[in-house]
Amino acid sequence: MSGTDQLSAVFSALADPTRRAILAELADRDATVTELTAPLPISMPAVSRHLKVLERAALISRSRSGKWRASRLEAAPLREAADWIERYRRFWDSSLTRLDAHLATVRAAGRATGRTAHDPTVPDSTVPDKVDDKERSWTPKPRRSSSRV
Amino acid sequence: MDTETPQIVISRVMEAPRELVYRAFTDPDHFAAWWGPIGNSLPRDEIEFDVRPGGYQRWTEVFPAHPALRVHIYVDLTDVAHGELLDGVMHVTGRLQDGIEPFETRFRVEFHDEADGRTRLEIRQWLPEHLAAPSEQGWLEAFTKLDVTLTSAHAAAVDVEA
């Protein structure tokens, strides 16, 4: 699998709560299908199917030898990925909060100068399709760095 | 890449009509007023936008509290529909935070009409490919975070489908 295919497999494997429970169990120790099934409300064949998905995503490995085929958690690629996702979610969250405030300011300025094009009660068709100079005229000037904090 | 599931899925309704929200993303003066968390700043003379399919959006982010940082963002716009869609690849370079290497990430922003003159933003973002490479440590810490992230990503996806 290529890197991105691998990553997709990892994320789709992790999207299932039962598989996350299995991984949490394997974090403590290696375990067989029987051992993994015991605390779960599902059948052994169902657990086996989940293990296959986890193995394909390289999140676990399974010993090939012996009667008791133990599954082992593979400490793997996810920390950086999780950090990155976390960072960007926070980024979007704070950006969009600022965007909200910015839009409110712009619309208040529009109302103050008597423009109604962006009033929520006016149908969207009255909103011009293109930015023209008149539209720009009530765009607030961007504040410089020190005043933004 | 198109068929792959984005790792970040955000849906948010803004209290403004679609045309205005779109402009906030595509007009440099608007954009500089809100992009990024509090504490960053976009020098106006380093913002260059040419918003069209095959065009670009370029800017620099500085952080008054962290003068050593200077982040250059070059967005190659692959798909643009006026008032409706921005889709492209964001290249992040420059003097980045410790521990962060330059990277590129695909993103997609859709603008949808909502009732009462509001706009629903649908934001998708894809993990940089280099993060697919395995690393040794910290898997379990990540696991806890991921659980939360995936749950909320899933919830957002369900909202979108509903």
For the record, the structure tokens of A115 come out as 């423009």
> Which pLDDT band, with edges at 50, 70 and 90, does A114 fall under?
low
| Selected residue of A4, A80, A90 to mutate for chain B interface (largest B Cβ count, 10 A) | A80
- Give, rounded to a whole angstrom, the gap between the first and last alpha carbons of chain B: 25
Tokens of A53: 């998905």
In the predicted model, what is the mean pLDDT of residues B33-44?
90
Per-residue H/E/C for chain B: CCCCCCCEEEEEEECCCHHHHHHHHHCHHHHHHHCCCECEECCHHHCEEECCCCCEEEEEEECCCCCCCEEEEEEEEEEEECCCEEEEEEEEEEECCCCCCCEEEEEEEEEEEEHHHEEEEEEEECCCHHHHCCCCCCHHHHHHHHHHHHHHHHHHHHHHHC
Average pLDDT over residues B97-117: 91
Q: A109's torsion region: left (phi>0), alpha (psi -120 to 50) or beta?
A: alpha
User: pLDDT digit string (tens) for B58-86?
Assistant: 999 999 999 999 999 999 999 999 999 99
Q: Are A78 and B143 inside 8 Å of each other by CB? A: yes
Please give the pLDDT value at position B122.
95
Q: Which residues are CB-neighbours of B148 under 8 A, at least 6 positions away?
A: none
Distance to chain A for B4, nearest Cα, Å:
7
Of A75, A118, A149, the CB nearest to B39: A149
pLDDT at A43 over 90: yes
- Cβ–Cβ gap B150/A11 under 8 Å: yes
Question: Model confidence at A76, in pLDDT bands (50, 70, 90)?
Answer: low
> Which CA distances in Å does B32 have to A76, A143, B44, B140?
39, 8, 7, 38
The chain A residue lying nearest B104, using CA atoms, is A84
Written as six digits, the tokens of B46 are 């380093």
- With contacts defined as CB-CB under 8 Å, which chain B residues touch A116? none
Cβ neighbour number for residue B84 with a 10 Å cutoff: 13
pLDDT exceeds cutoff 70 at A91: yes
Instruction: Please check the confidence at residue A8 and state whether its pLDDT lies above 50.
Output: yes
Cβ neighbours around A141 below 10 Å, total:
9
Report the residue from B21, B38, B83 with minimal CB separation from A94.
Answer: B38
- Closest-CA distance, A44 to chain B, in angstroms, reads 24
Comparing B151 with B82, the larger pLDDT belongs to B82
Residue B3 pLDDT level (bands cut at 50, 70, 90): very low
Write down the pLDDT at residue A140: 44
A positions 31-50 inside 8 Å of B (CB): none
- Stretch A55-84: mean pLDDT, rounded? 74
Do B150 and B127 form a contact (C-beta atoms < 8 A)? Answer: no
Say if the Cβ atoms of A129 and B83 lie within 8 Å. Answer: yes
Nearest to B34 among A88, A95, A136 (CB): A95
Question: Residue A136: which pLDDT band, with cuts at 50, 70 and 90?
Answer: very low
- Identity (one letter) of the amino acid at A89? R
Number of Cβ pairs < 8 A linking chain A and chain B: 189
**Above pLDDT 70, what percent of chain A?**
62
| Residue A75 contacts B where some CB pair is shorter than 8 Å | yes
The Cα–Cα gap between A80 and B128 comes to: 10
Q: CB–CB of B17 and A124 under 8 A?
A: yes
Q: Mean pLDDT over all residues of chain B?
A: 83
Name the maximum alpha-carbon separation found in chain B: 50
The nearest CA of chain A is from the CA of B146 a distance in Å of 6
Cα–Cα nearest to B127, from A84, A110, A17 = A84
pLDDT of residue A80: 63
Q: How confident is the model at residue A125, as a pLDDT? A: 41
The nearest alpha carbon in chain A to B112 belongs to A124
pLDDT bucket at B107, cuts 50 / 70 / 90: very high
Which of these ranges, A8-17, A119-128, B33-42, B142-151, has the smallest mean pLDDT?
A119-128
Q: Identify the band that residue A113 occupies on the pLDDT scale cut at 50, 70 and 90.
A: confident
Distance from CA of B76 to the nearest CA of A (A): 19
In sequence order, what are the residues at sequence separation of 6 or more whose Cβ sits closer than 8 angstroms to the Cβ of residue A148? B38, B39, B41
